[in-house]
Structure 1
């Protein structure tokens, strides 16, 4: 497939980039600083371009003609509200480009726990991460109200930088935990889960999650 990835310089974005190229997709990576990717990745099917996810015109320019658009965008600490701005810009820009399929890697905070409350509303949720979790939840609402063929992937509670193992489970709105109550997944497996969904859509116009 011919796809565009936003946020490709981040930890999740680089895992997505690696997974997409290994599956022989044609990838346009939209970044603010081209050198951050070109110094690390050279591939005949990778095209690195400068663009701005917060500008709908830039989004439209770099997504036109693609079969799918992926966002793994993450703001800097203290600029969490940019997630909401990015969501609005993505929806508008992708709509302008004529592309229908939008897949977003978001946050785990709005997933439901076994106690029936959102993870971000539990007493043990880290206070320093709460602004980011709230911004992810607000962005999710924007995607969910769009007329695009959107899919929103919430990771497990703990997202660990690591390779793809391939042995993970998927769910919808409930946090996935193992037999010890731990909720975790590697960036490699999260990328695999998203690419699986892109290639064989099942969660169109819905959210899903992945974990061990």
Structure 2
């Protein structure tokens, strides 16, 4: 497959790039600073989400899958998350892209009926704006009348550096927890699950969650 990855230089995005490359997929990385992006066997193109005058369509050639791994934490511009989801759904159908796969958040997952993780007292306040923004992006996808297929993939409540166990579970709107009540996944296994979903396409126009 040929993939475009927006946010390829980020923590999660870089793991997705590495996993996709390890399986022989061709990757085009869209990054803000092309000079500092040094990854072999990847086509690198400049794209700045904060530049409203830059169009994304000319950056797509014959790729069929678009991966978005973005957030507003670095610059504090969380509103860009839902805005980008809307723009991609509107603009990508005019390109060769057939599917948009989104790195989502865990905050909008339910821990009880009609109770989201981000609304619990234990949710870290420093991540709340980011969680709200990702929840707004999910609403954009669910409300869209778009022709483009999408999948929104939430990690567990805790995503952390670690070697791949090469195992994971898939959930939907409810937060997955293990026998001890913890919700966690290593970023390497999240990337494996992410690329598995790209290859299999089993959850079209749905949100899924990934956890041990």
Superposition TM-score, scaled by structure 2 size: 0.92
Distance 1:56 1:4, change over 3 A: farther
Residues in 2 aligned to 1:90 and 1:37: alpha-carbon distance in whole angstroms: 23
Q: Which runs of 5+ in 1 are unaligned?
A: none
Q: Say yes or no: does 1:142 pair with 2:140.
A: yes
Equivalent residue, structure 2, for 1:94: 92
| Contact residue 140 and residue 152 of structure 1 kept, 8 A | yes
Aligned residues: 208
Superposition TM-score, scaled by structure 1 size: 0.92
User: What displacement does 1:115 show?
Assistant: 5.6
Across the aligned residues of Structure 1 and Structure 2, the Cα RMSD in angstroms comes to 1.6
Equivalent residue, structure 2, for 1:50: 46
Residues in 1 aligned to 2:176 and 2:189: alpha-carbon distance in whole angstroms: 14
Superposition pairs of residues 163-182 of structure 1, within 5 angstroms: 163-182=163-182
Farther-moved stretch of structure 1 (78-87 vs 25-34):
78-87
Superposition pairs of residues 1-212 of structure 1, within 5 angstroms: 1-38=1-38, 41-43=39-41, 46-53=42-49, 55=52, 58-75=55-72, 76-114=74-112, 116-144=114-142, 145=144, 146-212=146-212
Residues in 2 aligned to 1:208 and 1:83: alpha-carbon distance in whole angstroms: 18
User: What displacement does 1:62 show?
Assistant: 2.0
Distance 1:64 1:57, change over 3 A: farther
Residues in 1 aligned to 2:154 and 2:21: alpha-carbon distance in whole angstroms: 22
User: What displacement does 1:95 show?
Assistant: 2.0
| Contact residue 68 and residue 102 of structure 1 kept, 8 A | yes
Q: Which runs of 5+ in 2 are unaligned?
A: none
Distance 1:60 1:92, change over 3 A: same
Deviating beyond 4 angstroms after TM superposition, the runs of 4 or more aligned structure 1 residues are 54-57
Residues in 1 aligned to 2:119 and 2:61: alpha-carbon distance in whole angstroms: 39
